Amino acid sequence: MAAGVGIVLSFLQSCKAVAYIPHVIEGEKMVVKKSDLAEHPYVVIQPAGLPAPVYLCRLENGEYSFSLHEENNEKPLAQGMFTVSGPRTRIGFTLAPRKLSVLNVRLRK
């Protein structure tokens, strides 16, 4: 999925209208309908059992870097690079249990 996934509360607080979309949990995957993502440049999912929502946004084709951090911690839990060249792109990382995490995604210049 060509999406940056992160728990980004400060950004969402400044948005006028946030699109919350439904999801299904399949094993360890959170699945959303492509049609729900097509209507909005960004969406929010509120999974049951998670203390914070998950933010998804569409990314343009290009090369990106990512870093995953626990809130208020500069040392990354994971980091890497990925390329978006179509409608689906996957990146892998493990979230720390019961801790707010932030995934930063940046376009590489």
pLDDT tens track for 64-73: 999 999 888 8
Confidence (pLDDT) at 17: 65
How do residues 4-31 score in pLDDT, each as one tens digit? 444 343 344 444 467 888 888 888 777 8
Domain ranges of the chain: 3-107
Residue among 73, 76, 32 at smallest CA distance from 56: 32
Residue 30's DSSP bridge partners are 25
The average pLDDT across 43-55 equals 81
What is the structure's pLDDT at 79? Answer: 93
- Cα 97 vs. chain centroid, distance in angstroms? 17
Of 84 and 5, which is predicted with more confidence?
84
Q: Does the structure show a pLDDT above 80 at 83?
A: yes
Q: Round to whole Å and give the CA distance between 41 and 16.
A: 14
The answer to whether residue 43 scores a pLDDT higher than 60 is yes
Q: Does residue 80 or residue 74 have the better pLDDT?
A: 80
Half-sphere exposure of 46 (CA within 13 A, CB side): 6
